[in-house]
Amino acid sequence: MSATTRHYNSLTKDQADGEEILGIGDQGVGGILISVAKLVLTTLCAGIHPNRTLPVVLDCGTDNEELLKDELYLGLRKPRTRGKEYDDFVDTFVQSARKLYPKAYIHFEDFGLPNGSFAISQFSFLLSN
């Protein structure tokens, strides 16, 4: 374990996949902006130092046709991954994050209904909401 990992052992993470951002829909990798904003509020309202936070977006593609056609879009240019491949990807991420940061507070946000349902059923023992 590196010194950096020990230092950030109690990290707060806001994790999104950007599929269903309230009021604006599927933003793909652009959903990271919502995670950043949430962590800014965590700093301002809860007093958690910004170096103790980590915004995360799981880039699983997008079903937003405008983004798929946009040559400046930074995310994965393919339809959103679903099913077992998606579930395995999220599971690998969560297990890896828990191993690196065992005391981390992980906040799941902006997942679509089917994917959010998987996260709740699979990780309810550690979900913040």
Dihedral angle sign, alpha carbons of residues 76, 81, 87, 88: negative
Tell whether the model's pLDDT for residue 114 goes beyond 60: yes
Count other C-beta atoms under 10 Å from residue 45's C-beta.
8
Tokens of 60: 């699983």
Nearest to residue 57, comparing CAs of 81, 32, 89, 34? 32
Tens-digit pLDDT profile for residues 18-62 = 555 556 667 778 878 888 888 898 899 989 899 888 888 888 888
pTM over cut 0.75: no
Per CATH, domain 12-123 is 3.30.1300.10: no
Order of all β-strands in the sheet with 53-57 = 53-57, 12-16, 105-109
pLDDT at 19: 55
Count other C-beta atoms under 10 Å from residue 12's C-beta.
23
Dihedral angle sign, alpha carbons of residues 7, 39, 73, 90: positive
Tens-digit pLDDT profile for residues 59-98 = 888 889 999 999 999 999 999 888 889 888 888 988 898 8
**Phi-psi category of residue 25: left, alpha or beta, with phi > 0 → left and psi -120 to 50 → alpha:** left
Residue ranges of the domains in the chain? 12-123
